[in-house]
Amino acid sequence: MSGLPIFLQPALARALALGRAHAVLLSGPAGLGQLELARALAKAWLCETQAAGQPACGHCPSCHLVEQGSHPDLRWLMPAALRVELGFEEAPGEGKAKPSKEIRIDEVRGLQSFTQSTSGRGQAKVLAIHPAEAMNTVAANALLKTLEEPGSVLRFVLSCGAPEELLPTIRSRCQTLSLSVPEPALALAWLREQGLGEADAAALLRLAGGRPGQALQWARAGLGADRLAELPQLMLRGELGGWEALGPTLLVDLLGRLAHDQLRRSHGQEPLYFSAAHLPPPTASARLQRWATELREARAKGEHPLVPGLWMESLAAQAQRALKSDGRPAAADKRPALHSTL
Ligand SMILES: [Zn+2]
């Protein structure tokens, strides 16, 4: 199982126990490692020395080809934007169309000769689709026919972070493997293997709702336990300087989690993502609700803010308005907070 994160190994064993299933759907919230799991499953199916139902040997020519990304019997179907993000292809140059976030029909049609040919190395042939919900309806319908009549050697592994967005006809032709958040001890051990310190791993895993892949993404963007601990106080002062390096998506996601936690606390519940010790007393839930809505709108604009500096300023002002006990982004609020009156 070389290379597969330890927290995914129980899931791989369950996927292999499905036996000769011709299509497996790896289903669970995004950020659980679906891509790595799909690759490990494809590798096991294509391995030339291991018995069926066993993980890949990791040493045979087929295993090496999967690792190098050049196996003739393995094809990946993923959105162009994701291929660029993962480094499988170059970003388009200036003035070119932005890479699509959808899997399009021409990409599905382009697989025809692959799905209809015989296996190059005489084992199985595997089509991996990640994430399957990125297929638009036309593309999904085009795939359906192949999924219904796969021939004798073709197998599918589909990963999916939002099963409700998949066509039911696609879902029903797959054996579903439900993925859940891994054991915290396994997730933490893996994060430490990736070079995170104990405190950072714990804080980021909590922030990510237990999803280790996402915790690592936060870490690589420069977040750690210390910065997380100071974020709520910075927001109270309306200061977001230096946080733009996270990028709009992660930043808005982070603030969304802060809003979510404060909303929970305004209803007397424990926070999920942040430590209560670092949070200011919650303000009125209507105000926090409004902030959550503002953040959803900010997410839509954030990918291409017209004026990034202004966009950041408005994020900071919204956060301060929502978190400060008097509701006004006043610079000098010297009064003691009277939370009981809210
Ligand atoms: Zn092998």
Q: What is the pLDDT of residue 112?
A: 86
Fold of 6-178: Rossmann fold (3.40.50)
Kindly give the pairing relationship between strand 23-27 and strand 74-77.
unpaired
Residues 6 or more apart whose Cβ sits within 8 Å of residue 291: 259, 318, 319, 321, 322
Q: Which residues line ion ligand 1, judged by CB < 5 Å?
A: 47, 56-57, 60, 63
The count of other CB atoms within 10 Å of the CB of residue 4 is 21
The alpha carbons of the chain give a radius of gyration, in whole angstroms, of 23
> Domain boundaries in the chain?
6-178, 221-331
How far CA 114 is from CA of 65, 72, 94, 220, 305, in Å, comes to 17, 9, 32, 36, 41
The count of other CB atoms within 10 Å of the CB of residue 158 is 28
136 CA from centroid of ligand 1 (Å): 34
Residue 264 phi/psi, 5-degree rounding, is: -55, -45
Residue 281 phi/psi, 5-degree rounding, is: -60, 145
**What is the full per-residue pLDDT of the chain (342 aa) written as tens digits?**
447 898 999 999 999 999 888 999 999 988 888 999 999 999 999 999 988 889 999 999 999 999 999 999 999 999 998 888 888 888 888 778 888 889 999 999 999 889 888 878 878 899 999 999 999 999 999 999 888 887 778 999 999 988 888 999 999 999 999 998 999 999 999 999 999 999 999 999 999 999 998 899 899 999 999 999 999 999 999 888 888 888 888 899 999 999 999 999 999 999 999 999 999 999 999 999 999 999 988 887 766 666 778 888 889 999 999 998 864 544 433 444 444 333
2 CA from centroid of ligand 1 (Å): 11
CB contact at 8 A, 84 and 99:
yes
60 CA from centroid of ligand 1 (Å): 4
Q: What is the pLDDT of residue 304?
A: 66
59 CA from centroid of ligand 1 (Å): 5
SS3 284: coil
47 CA from centroid of ligand 1 (Å): 4
Q: What is the pLDDT of residue 338?
A: 41
70 CA from centroid of ligand 1 (Å): 14
7 CA from centroid of ligand 1 (Å): 21
67 CA from centroid of ligand 1 (Å): 10
According to DSSP, the residues that pair with 135 across neighbouring strands are 103
